[in-house]
A and B are shown apart, each in its own frame.
Chain A
Amino acid sequence: MTEAQDLHVELQILPEWSRIDPVRQAVGLCVEAVFGNEDLRDALGMVCAELLENAIKYGKPAPHKVRLVLSNSEQPQHHEVTLSVINAVDEASHHVELLQQRIGWIQRFDSPAEAYMAALTLVYERAEAQGGEGGLGLVRIAYEGGCRLDCDCPEQGVMAVHARYTLPRTEVSP
């Protein structure tokens, strides 16, 4: 092992709602164990839960599984912690396009906080959340979770959503 902090966790779970909270807690504890940072523990725990909720709501049901990968890459000034959720989707599903649109919508704002405020205001003024509940969850990941989002299709019928958190070295407990 050459890195001071090394994180690599892979889980594969059934797409069942009851699995989300144990995984949220496990991800948070792994992050805290490696980086000694409680804020990051709570942030990535929430990010993990919101991404799993989307995967279970919009992905294919069991026996298809949802894969979660939590990893770290060390940079000179910071760590980049990436949480990816990969799941099977119906090939006719438009969920990937909708997700990409939603991520593009978030990126149009100067900050995630502004995007979050705009999303809440839409609910307040029009009783709607762009992209449904998942739409608010994604913007929450950007704002509360402090993560950059992107998504892709690693193969046909499979989608992956990646949330990346930049952790300055000064915020890591040795």
Chain B
Amino acid sequence: MSLPLRNESRNALRVTMGGNAIKFHGVLHEMDAREWLFPLLLEVHQIAVETRMPEVVFDIRQLTYANATLWRSLVLWFRLRKQSPSTPYRVRLLSDPVYRWQKLGVPPLARLGGSWLTIR
């Protein structure tokens, strides 16, 4: 019932995964982010569904900046979760409002999510 351990670096970004959490550190601004970020979330989704994981934690508190690809990928992930025929997991999004982009960017996500989305 856990995500595979992973610790990947991509330029100024580090992504770690394990337990029920996926964490981002640094800066996400790569040109090809769209090509790997959503597939990564798709993998998380599939594992969470297959292993009946009750909750997935998405932690961006150490992410100092991200381009629009992050928001787009998160919304596509939420869409995928909504469309899942099996009992889906909850999502807990950990953010830090000290970063303006998170302070303003996270609340609109809450409007898209339902009771399954917790934002801290």
Binding partners A and B: yes
Q: Considering the chains assembled together, what is the distance between the CA atoms of A125 and B67 in angstroms?
A: 21
Name the A residues within 8 Å of B111 (CB-CB): 117
A92 in the interface (beta carbon within 8 A): no
* Structural contact, A124 and B112, CB atoms closer than 8 A: yes
Q: Interface segment, B14-22, B40-48, B86-94, B100-108?
A: B100-108
A14 in the interface (beta carbon within 8 A): no
Q: Considering the chains assembled together, what is the distance between the CA atoms of A35 and B68 in angstroms?
A: 26
* Structural contact, A137 and B67, CB atoms closer than 8 A: yes
The B interface, classified by DSSP as helix, strand, loop or mixed, is helix
Contact flags B63-100 to A (C-beta < 8 A → 1, else 0)? 00101110110011011000000000000000000011
Name the B residues within 8 Å of A137 (CB-CB): 67-68
From known contacts A42-B101, A43-B100, infer whether A120 and B108 are also in contact, taking CB-CB under 8 Å: yes
A136 in the interface (beta carbon within 8 A): yes
Question: Chain B interface (Cβ within 8 Å of chain A)?
Answer: 12, 27, 29-31, 34, 65, 67-69, 71-72, 75-76, 78-79, 99-101, 104-105, 108-109, 111-112
- 9 A-B pairs with CB atoms under 8 Å apart are A42-B101, A43-B100, A46-B65, A53-B31, A120-B75, A120-B109, A133-B34, A137-B68, A144-B100
